[in-house]
Structure 1
């Protein structure tokens, strides 16, 4: 049976806020969220994320509004490692299991839950379909997640490194340099 959560973060990396409405099942996650940021420029984001078995991304739909106009992205994963963005193949991210929406702490949940990295020892390297905000460009991103202790995971991508605190359900509580969750929502 799925549990529902509403989580709000102060996103320091964007000088903004994000709220996600999440339904967490035993092996899948479904969310919708809204974010507002002022860096790198003022923007609004709306997204819907659906995963399949093993918390593998199936679909991410994003709408971004900024002074540059409105953009939409329909990012799809076929379950066999192939991705499309608005119907166009994305060979650079082939083999990735997850998306990573820029400036969004929610999308760190899928790989952590899949491998239980917030609960037990391990280190995993991933290729992600990273989505830049607010322009919604999809790029490959190599990322490493390492268990540091109960609820603590080190995230590394390129020169960026942060030790993230997760709750027992695998949702970000504190992501230094990125976001901090409000209250105990």
Structure 2
């Protein structure tokens, strides 16, 4: 990723929804700020702050959810393992990265971590329930800018093709998300 900040806008394809995401370099690595409006069957608003190290590994994720009550969740990687709202969660020890259900951004972290085809266990955050579970995933590189995602855990058997840019940010996520360019409203 270049030293320049990036803004990405996604539209959901399966239900009404939008996300506006900003990635900017900081002293520790990268700071990701995003707002999600999901207007589907289980409507919610979400803002998150995702702190990444220089290798695009999660240091901390802070979520603010409105659905219909306001809830916050903080997930942090520590030397002891994943901490959720300050409490160690040994049941999440095998999780290598976070998968936040409402955004295609988390796929970027998995693809960068694997640097090619492979599998990993993610800390899956279901929205709007905020349930946290380990989930196994496979990413298969189909070319320089194409990947196949296969869920081996929570949604076992689900597959989708992903199109990505040079920063591994999703441009199109088959059936779920597409990027809005600057000329679209």
User: Smaller-chain TM-score range?
Assistant: 0.7 to 0.9
Alignment of 1:19-38 (within 5 A): 19-23=20-24, 28-38=29-39
* TM-score with structure 1 setting the length: 0.87
Alignment of 1:160-171 (within 5 A): 160-171=158-169
Tell me if structure 1 keeps the 8 A contact 2:139–2:148. yes
Q: Residue in 2 aligned with 1:146?
A: 140
Q: Residue in 1 aligned with 2:47?
A: 46
Q: Which runs of 5+ in 1 are unaligned?
A: 118-122
Q: Residue in 1 aligned with 2:174?
A: 176
Change over 3 Å in CA distance of 1:100–1:14 after alignment to 2: farther
Cα distance per residue 1:47-97 (max 9 Å; x no partner) = 000112421111000011012x1111000011x471011112222221322
* TM-score with structure 2 setting the length: 0.87
Tell me if structure 1 keeps the 8 A contact 2:123–2:132. yes
Tell me if structure 1 keeps the 8 A contact 2:62–2:74. yes
Q: State the 4+ residue runs in structure 1 displaced beyond 6 angstroms.
A: none
Tell me if structure 2 keeps the 8 A contact 1:75–1:86. yes
Tell me if structure 1 keeps the 8 A contact 2:36–2:46. yes
Secondary structure of the corresponding residue to residue 54 of structure 1? coil
Q: How many residues align?
A: 177
Q: Which runs of 5+ in 2 are unaligned?
A: none
Tell me if structure 2 keeps the 8 A contact 1:22–1:31. yes
Shift of 1:184: 6.2
Cα distance per residue 1:76-119 (max 9 Å; x no partner) = 011x47101111222222132211111201111112123333xx
Q: Residue in 2 aligned with 1:64?
A: 65
Tell me if structure 1 keeps the 8 A contact 2:80–2:88. no
Find the aligned partners of 1:100 and 1:159 in 2 and give their Cα distance: 17
Aligned-CA RMSD value: 2.0
Q: Residue in 2 aligned with 1:113?
A: 112
Find the aligned partners of 1:170 and 1:180 in 2 and give their Cα distance: 14
Secondary structure of the corresponding residue to residue 51 of structure 1? strand
Alignment of 1:72-151 (within 5 A): 72-78=72-78, 80=79, 82-117=81-116, 123-151=117-145
Find the aligned partners of 2:177 and 2:136 in 1 and give their Cα distance: 21
